[in-house]
Amino acid sequence: MSDESIPTEASDLRAAAMRLARRIRQQRSVTTMTDAQFAVLVNLHLHGPHTLTALAERDGVTAPSMNRTVNCLEELGFVTRVAATDDRRKVRIAITDAGSVVVRETSERRDNWLAQILGRLDDAERRTLHSAAEIILREVHR
């Protein structure tokens, strides 16, 4: 394979990634919850409690912006704030049981939607998609 095919490959890969991600985002269990809120929930669900600053840095937003998102999640009962014991400036933000349920339900819904598509494919094509996912997860860092 020669290098002159890279531009076309890049363009196709870009179109495919954007379309697939858009359709995945449409699948959610709580339709009133936004992407910003769900991203925070997933982070807390997978990696445990964080400070406000850590959450903001992880999602590439400012602290005041993350503060508002956390306020919304707190009002919805999906996260809790607890003052840190060691450094009294810090606040420990943790996911609640209700928040974990939302993450699991939405993840399931998204995976079920994708599994429908995978189920239409033959083994070779499914292998191709799985290999592609592994390459992307290995080469593209958050």
Partner DNA sequence: TATTGTTATACTCTATAACTATA
Partner DNA sequence: TATAGTTATAGAGTATAACAATA
Question: SS3 for 86?
Answer: coil
Q: Tell me the CA distances in angstroms from 78 to 45, 72, 97, one per residue in order.
A: 11, 9, 7
Give the C-alpha separation, 112 to 106, whole Å: 10
CB of 55 to DNA, least distance (A): 8
User: Any contact of residue 14 with its own copies (CB under 8 A)?
Assistant: yes
Site residues for DNA per CB under 7 A: 34, 36-37, 51-54, 59-72, 81, 87-91
Q: Which residues contact 86 (CB under 8 A, 6 or more apart)?
A: none
The nearer residue to DNA, 24 or 91, going by C-beta atoms, is 91
User: Any contact of residue 123 with its own copies (CB under 8 A)?
Assistant: yes
Binders in 34-93 for its own copies, by CB under 8 A: none
Q: Which does 63 bind (CB under 5 to 8 A by kind): DNA, its own copies, none?
A: DNA
CB of 12 to DNA, least distance (A): 25
The nearer residue to its own copies, 97 or 122, going by C-beta atoms, is 122
Q: What angle do CA 135, 105, 71 make, to 5 degrees?
A: 95
Q: Which residues contact 24 (CB under 8 A, 6 or more apart)?
A: 110, 113, 114
The nearer residue to DNA, 66 or 103, going by C-beta atoms, is 66
How many residues would you count in the chain? 142
Q: Given the rule CB under 8 A, which residues bind its own copies?
A: 1, 3, 5-7, 9-25, 107, 110-112, 114-115, 117-121, 123, 125-137, 139-140, 142
